[in-house]
Amino acid sequence: IMYNFMMFMVWVIRPNTINPWYRKKIHLNHHKTSGTAQDIEERLVGNGIKNHLLRMLVVFDGLLGLIVRSKQFSREITGYKFFTLFNAGFPLTTIYYIVLYSFLLFHTFNFIVEYMAVLIHYPTWLMTLVEWINFTMVVWIAPSFLRSACLNFVTSSMHYYGGAFNMLQQTQVLNHWFFMPFQLFCFNFGNTHTIHHFVPSQPFYIRQMISKRVNVFLKEKGVKFNDLTSILAANRYPSSQQFSN
């Protein structure tokens, strides 16, 4: 009971992700297939995308990213089914996107008509609904959007895609100053997540406590640090150094 309660609360805090019970399945797959085309978890957040405009779309809007790339996933990922993944977001993720798109649609339309000096009398029920949408956007949707955008950008940048052959080459450590604003909203993920690939069951806050000492050890063993050029190369591990570790 406690396990399922905690899983549900995680989903409440992160409504723009698929439900944690299904995500557990694809996260275990991530550890088995990291760096390959079969790693759907990282591909869903932008890892391995060459087109940087598409990458930003995926980082900020997972639903549009999923829709745009569904055919590609069908060709490349074994067992991929769009509706299985889409339905894994019901009902919280569904509510998240309904509120988000409704907020953007209404306020964009309202801005345009005000700019054109067009007078529109909205019905009372609509304005009441908009008040609730505004409130939900501020206290629930926007914080989740900010957190997920920062996390998606960092995780899709630090995981390698293609050319990786062992666990030392699955990820890099990102602690460059450029990433600090994003790290603030994902608990220093780029600096600590590599540890998770070696000790998956370790809580994130423990990783933060030990990261300073462990990162020294990882660097000695050949894990890359701040390989920013890989981001421009669709996260491919440097071919000239594939076997250096």
Tell me the C-alpha distance between 6 and 20, whole Å: 10
Question: What does the pLDDT read at residue 242?
Answer: 46
CB atoms within 10 A of CB 220: 8
- One-letter amino acid at 183 equals Q
CB atoms within 10 A of CB 196: 16
Question: What does the pLDDT read at residue 244?
Answer: 39
Query: Are 19 and 135 in a shared domain?
Result: yes
Within 13 Å, how many C-alpha atoms sit on residue 44's CB side? 21
Query: Are 180 and 128 in a shared domain?
Result: no
Query: Are 93 and 187 in a shared domain?
Result: no
Question: What does the pLDDT read at residue 233?
Answer: 94
User: Model confidence over 8-64: pLDDT tens digits?
Assistant: 999 999 999 999 999 999 999 999 999 999 999 999 999 999 999 999 999 999 999
Query: Are 94 and 179 in a shared domain?
Result: no
Tell me the C-alpha distance between 124 and 3, whole Å: 43
Count the domains in the chain: 2
Read off the pLDDT band of 243 (50, 70, 90).
very low
| Residue written as token pair 């990162």 | 215
Tell me the C-alpha distance between 43 and 59, whole Å: 10
Query: Are 51 and 167 in a shared domain?
Result: no
Angle in degrees, 0-180, between the axes of helices 142-158 and 52-60, rounded to the nearest 10: 140
What is each CA distance from 142 to 13, 146, 163, 238, 243, in whole angstroms?
11, 6, 36, 37, 43
Contact 215, 196 (CB under 8 A): no
Q: Mean pLDDT across the chain, nearest whole number? A: 95
Q: What percent of the chain has pLDDT over 90?
A: 94
Which of 106, 124, 159 is a domain's end point? 159
Q: Which of 66, 54, 226 is nearest to 154 (CA)?
A: 226
Phi, psi values for residue 157, rounded to 5°: -85, -30
CB atoms within 10 A of CB 34: 21
Residue 239 has pLDDT above 80, yes or no: no
Which of 126, 142, 159 is a domain's end point? 159
User: Model confidence over 103-137: pLDDT tens digits?
Assistant: 999 999 999 999 998 889 999 999 999 999 999 99
Domain of 122 in residue numbering reads as 1-159
Question: What does the pLDDT read at residue 240?
Answer: 54
Specify the pTM.
Answer: 0.94
Query: Are 102 and 5 in a shared domain?
Result: yes
Angle at CA of residue 70, ends 67 and 72, nearest 5°:
140
User: Model confidence over 72-83: pLDDT tens digits?
Assistant: 999 999 999 999
Query: Are 155 and 227 in a shared domain?
Result: no
Phi, psi values for residue 50, rounded to 5°: -80, -40
Question: What does the pLDDT read at residue 89?
Answer: 97
Question: What does the pLDDT read at residue 164?
Answer: 75
Question: What does the pLDDT read at residue 61?
Answer: 96
| Residue written as token pair 């990282």 | 42
Which of 159, 189, 210 is a domain's end point? 159
Query: Are 102 and 76 in a shared domain?
Result: yes
Residue 181 has pLDDT above 90, yes or no: yes
Question: What does the pLDDT read at residue 87?
Answer: 97
Contact 35, 159 (CB under 8 A): yes
Residue 160 has pLDDT above 70, yes or no: yes
Query: Are 109 and 209 in a shared domain?
Result: no
Residue 210 has pLDDT above 50, yes or no: yes
What is each CA distance from 203 to 139, 193, 196, in whole angstroms?
27, 11, 9
